[in-house]
Structures are given as structure tokens and as C-alpha cells.
Amino acid sequence: MNVEEQLAARVEGSVVVMGIGNPMRGDDAAGSLVARRITPRPGVCVIDAEDVPEAHVAAAVRRQPDTIILIDAVDFGSTPGAIAFLERDQLANYWPTTHRTPLTFLIGILEEATRARVFAIGIQPGRTGLLEPVSNAVAASVGAVAGLLNEALARNRAAAGPVPASSRVGEAPA
């Protein structure tokens, strides 16, 4: 199953998209960069958590979403820019991270508090040194993941009934 098919099979109902990544550490910024490219739409809450996703758990839980998508740079031993769907049990193998809270713990909290379907999209980083730029491979994957997510979210909204307005955590409502 390709990335587009996997998203179509997993995204349903109201959605929280949480981008995770340190903007000061090159490719580690991937999740945060994807979050910034998600088009606001009803029923979707976008959170750019940067490198403190634990600080945004309450905002995600308040939404009581059906689906939560975490996007982060994850070293799963592939080539820079590779994309993988990762469930909580798969993420246990990928440590350390540049943020304090492991994704496995974050997923567990979100699953328990919301009963939502929670999964991660990992983008394989290449360089994560302090003040390094994002590599071309990861920048291309950021664009691809954002595009595929925007398409999946649009299809999901078209199939759903009335839903709450969109939002971006940290921004004033329009």
C-alpha cells in the first residue's frame, strides 16, 4: 500500500495533525515544517509543536478527535527523506529523539485520553546538527507529505458531515 492509500485508510472524522521537530537542528524540523503547510479546513486542528509536543497534549485532547497524526523526523535506518507510517509498538525501537518525550509515550497518552486512532508519519533525517539547514531530500519529503495530507484531509472532509471550524494552535481565530 502506498502512502496515499495508507492515509486514505487511516484518516477519518475530526483530525488533529501535530508536527514535531526542532527548527534549529536541520532535518529534525521536518514535522514542524509539514504542519506549517497544512491547509486549514473545518474539522482539522493543526499543531506546530516544534520540539515540545508534551506542551500541546491538552490542546489535542480538548478537540476529542477521531484521528491524530504525529509527524516527526525518525531515524528508522533508511535513506534521508524516506517516509514511513509508524505505530506505537514500532516506535519503541527508535530512540533517542531530540525532544524530551518519546513518541511512544505521547501516543499512549493521546490514545488513552481521546480513544482516537493515533499514528506517526516518520521522515528519515540525514543531518540534525545544530544550525544545519534542512537537506534537499527531507525538504522534498516535507512537501510530499504535506501535499498528501492536504489531499487526504480534503477527501475526508468531503465525506464527513458538519464539523467544528479549523484551527491552528497558537493562532487567534479568524
Question: Which pLDDT band, with edges at 50, 70 and 90, does 174 fall under?
Answer: very low
Provide the number of structural domains found in the chain: 1
For residue 32 the three cell numbers come to 514542524
pLDDT category at 91 given cuts 50, 70, 90 is: low
Q: Answer whether residue 170 is part of any domain.
A: no
- pLDDT value of residue 160: 66
Determine, yes or no, domain membership for 167. Answer: no
173 falls within a domain = no
In a domain, 169, yes or no: no
Confidence of residue 137 (pLDDT cuts 50, 70, 90): very high
pLDDT-based confidence at residue 125 (cuts at 50, 70, 90): very high
pLDDT in tens, 13-67: 999 999 999 999 999 999 999 999 999 899 999 999 999 999 999 999 999 999 9
pLDDT of residue 121: 95
Q: pTM for this one? A: 0.88
Q: Is residue 86 part of a domain?
A: yes
- Domain span at 153: 3-158
* Residue 124 near residue 82 (C-beta atoms within 8 A): yes
The answer as to whether 26 is a domain residue is yes
Q: Are strands 167-168 and 44-50 parallel, antiparallel or unpaired?
A: parallel
What is the chain's length?
Answer: 174
CATH value at residue 39: 3.40.50.1450
Which pLDDT does position 173 carry in this prediction?
Answer: 42
> Is residue 125 in a domain?
yes
Mean pLDDT, rounded, for 81-86: 92
Residue 153 forms part of a structural domain: yes
Asked which of 48-52, 98-102, 104-108, 142-146 is least confident by mean pLDDT, the reply is 98-102
Percentage, residues of the chain above pLDDT 90: 69
